[in-house]
Amino acid sequence: MTTAHAAGTWKLGDQVINRMGFGSMRLTSNPDRDVAIRVLRRAVELGVDHIDTAAFYVTPGGIIDSGSGPRRYATELIREALFPYDNVVVATKVGPGLTPTGDWETATTPAELRTQVEENLRRLGMDRLDLVNLRLTSRTAPVAPRFEALAALQQEGLIRHLGISNATLAQIDEAAAVAPLVCVQNSFAVDLRRDEAMPRILEERGIAFVPFFAIAGPGREDGPTANTHHAVREIAATHHVSEHQVRLAWTLHQGSNVLAIPGTGDEQHLLDNIAAGAIRLSGEDLAWLSGTEQG
């Protein structure tokens, strides 16, 4: 059986991890808590040692709590399944958050960011967060004041490493001038390449690139669209794999620093995602796929 080791490794901060990781956003959409916990534990059994999450990943509905039932937090599922996190890096995010009434708010002040960091610590059962990404909601907003607040929390010992999410190169440079970055999380897929040069630029700087929407592509939060580019379909057929697996394989082929974080609440989908790390696309495959961008 293919394990996460097939995708190769990258040194994230001070720890070498497998490039095939796991995103926890969709965990909360599974109504069966036991299944979600089993999927997490199975992922780690198969070599996954990089888990991506956020305190605002809650049920029902994956991210936004509609008030129709008790909240289930991805961070709490992770704690129940994996604590004390032996040799597992848990990366979380701050910035957007949910109020007790389920409304969105964005942390901008040092006090608000501290509150979100402390919430992550509490729900994960940690004394120090492995990695905190500042999730931006605007690609033009200034970054330095918020990153300075997170750097202060890092100096305090509450955070080990820092990263940034949904950022332009200018925002990345602004953050890096405040404190070292170990990763950048941006939307990126075979047919969703807003910042096509980003993986290479970050690789040259020794920074990990962690794409989200690698499978969903232009469908983003709604998931993969039905109108898959014919190149993805035909390459999948040639390799006898699924279109989702081709998308993940393409993602991992974009640089040695690229870390995949596909998420699922289904064990078979987990196995399929991990197996994608062993797919080797040819130069011809990659050239054909280079023309698939839709958005």
If one counts the domains in the chain, the total is: 1
Which pLDDT score is estimated for 171? 98
Residue corresponding to tokens 């232009």: 218
Name the β-bridge partners of 51. Answer: 22, 90
C-alpha to C-alpha distance for 224 and 155, rounded to whole angstroms: 40
Domain membership of residue 197 (yes or no) is yes
* Domain assignment present for 127: yes
pLDDT score at 191: 84
Catalytic one of 10, 22, 56, 57: 57
Strand partners, 164: 134, 184
CATH of the domain at 66: 3.20.20.100
The answer as to whether 9 is a domain residue is no
The closest alpha carbon to 185, from 23, 18, 8, belongs to 23
Residue 195 has a pLDDT of 81
**Is 295 contained in some domain?**
no
Tell me how far the alpha carbon of residue 140 is from its chain's centroid: 22
Domain annotation covers residue 125: yes
57 is catalytic: yes
DSSP 91-156: EEEESEEE-TTS-EEE--SHHHHHHHHHHHHHHHT-SSEEEEEEE-S-SSS--HHHHHHHHHHHHT
> What local confidence, expressed as pLDDT, does residue 63 receive?
44
Can you give the C-alpha Rg of the chain in angstroms? 18
Contact 107, 97 (CB under 8 A): yes
Count of CA atoms in the C-beta half-sphere (13 A) of 164: 29
- pLDDT tens track, the chain, 295 positions: 899 999 999 999 999 999 999 999 988 877 788 999 999 999 999 999 999 999 889 875 444 444 445 678 999 999 999 999 999 999 999 999 877 666 788 999 999 999 999 999 999 999 999 999 999 999 999 999 999 999 999 999 999 999 999 999 999 999 999 999 999 999 999 987 778 899 999 999 999 999 998 886 654 555 555 556 788 999 999 999 999 999 999 999 999 999 999 999 999 999 999 999 999 999 999 999 887 654 3
User: Residue-wise over 135-150: b if at least 16 C-beta within 10 A, else e?
Assistant: bbeeeeeebeebbebb
pLDDT at 295: 39
- Please indicate, yes or no, if residue 4 is contained in any of the structural domains: no
In a domain, 178, yes or no: yes
What gap in Å lies between CA 100 and CA 68, rounded to an integer? 14
The alpha helices in 159-229, defined as continuous H runs, are 169-176, 198-204
Amino acid 175: pLDDT: 98
Which residue segment(s) compose the domain that 69 sits in? Answer: 16-289
- Domain assignment of residue 10, yes or no: no
Q: How, if at all, do strands 183-187 and 50-52 pair?
A: unpaired
Rounded CA gap, 250 and 277, in Å? 10
CA angle in degrees (0–180, nearest 5) for 79-85-91: 75
